[in-house]
Amino acid sequence: MYQLVLQCFEKACGSDHTSTLDTIGNLGNLYAEQGKHEEAEAMYQQALRGYEKAWGPDHMSTLNTIGSFGNLYAEQGKYRESETMYQRALQGYKKAWGPNHPLTLDTANSICLLYLDQGKDKEAEEMYQQALQCYEQD
């Protein structure tokens, strides 16, 4: 269904239109849920390039796609790639929305879980302490 919608958006709006990019990202999410990692990664790459061009590096859509990459890589056990993407999203959310924004804190939590999966308990604890301080400030 997403592929049909994508074809319609591409025909009506063009491949760089943000509605088309949203559909590409959604198709990537579907592929990720289905375990089609290569297809998901290709969709995320296409969406990310388009969002960066259309909105810039700190737009919510750009950052959400970067976070989706982090999730995809974590699911595959590609911890280094996942951490790189999560850190990139975290820095972007902090810059755009501040340290106390829910997406900033959710991304910090994703990094903590990634650290725990790798047995990096000290790093996870430090990140959790930082997140806790942000929650307590609200």
pLDDT, tens digit, 9 for 90 and up, residues 84-114: 999 999 999 999 999 989 999 999 999 999 9
Query: Residue 57 above 60 pLDDT?
Result: yes
CATH code reported for the domain at 58-138: 1.25.40.10
Residues 9-31 have a mean pLDDT of 81
Residues 36-42 have a mean pLDDT of 98
Structure tokens at 4: 């049909």
Query: Residue 2 above 80 pLDDT?
Result: no
Query: Residue 136 above 90 pLDDT?
Result: no
| Residue boundaries of the structural domains of the chain | 1-54, 58-138
Model pLDDT, residue 138: 58
Give the span between the Cα atoms of 6 and 125, in whole angstroms. Answer: 42
Model pLDDT, residue 104: 94
Cα separations (Å) of 109 from 21, 63, 98, 114?
27, 16, 15, 9
Residues 49-63 have a mean pLDDT of 96
Model pLDDT, residue 127: 87
